[in-house]
Amino acid sequence: MLILLIAGLLGGLASGFFKLGWEILLPPRTPERNETNPPQHLLQQIGFSERFTHRYFLFSGQRVQYISLLMHFGFSIFFSFVYIIASAQFSFVSLGQGSLYGVFIWAIFHLIILPTMHTVPPIKNQPLAEHFSELLGHAIWGFMIQVCYVYVLVLFS
């Protein structure tokens, strides 16, 4: 159980940091659409104020919106635990070394849940660049979770 806990936490943090870097390299949204990003919009949809969702601290003269980061890492850590627990019980979950899991999570959230909730535009109204960035970013995000899982298994064996 300790191994799953450590692997889930490490996988979530490492993959979350990776995904942030990926989105700097290939930004999924235009600056205008990112003024209120999907995590912020989702929180506003369930009743949080814009003032709350756009809270920030300054670092090196730049705004760091920490509510978005808490949502980002919370999502990543939660779904890292889901992956590790599921793949420990069902080997097919780890097909593609976690990358297919990442694609599955992308499809469920970015193609079904978020458009249905009107958190993001309908699929046809999202730019191809957004789909490309999110699809590849999630595939490698899932792979990073698997890498961390294997690392922890080897470390504790």
pLDDT in the model for residue 157:
86
* Residue 98 is assigned to a structural domain of this protein: yes
Phi-psi region of 58 (alpha: psi -120 to 50; beta: other; left: phi over 0): beta
Half-sphere exposure of 31 (CA within 13 A, CB side): 0
Q: List the beta strands (DSSP E) in the chain.
A: 57-59, 62-64
Domain annotation covers residue 41: no
Q: Which residues of the chain have pLDDT under 50?
A: none
pLDDT at residue 1 in the model: 86
- Give the pLDDT confidence of 54-82 residue by residue, as tens digits: 999 999 999 999 999 999 999 999 999 99
Q: Which residue in this structure is represented by tokens 């949502």?
A: 71
Q: Which residues pair with 62 in a beta bridge?
A: 59
Residues spanned by the domain of 125:
2-34+73-155
Domain count of the chain? 1
Q: What is the pLDDT of residue 9?
A: 97
pLDDT at position 15 is: 98
What does pTM read for this prediction?
A: 0.94
Tell me whether residue 13 is in a domain.
yes
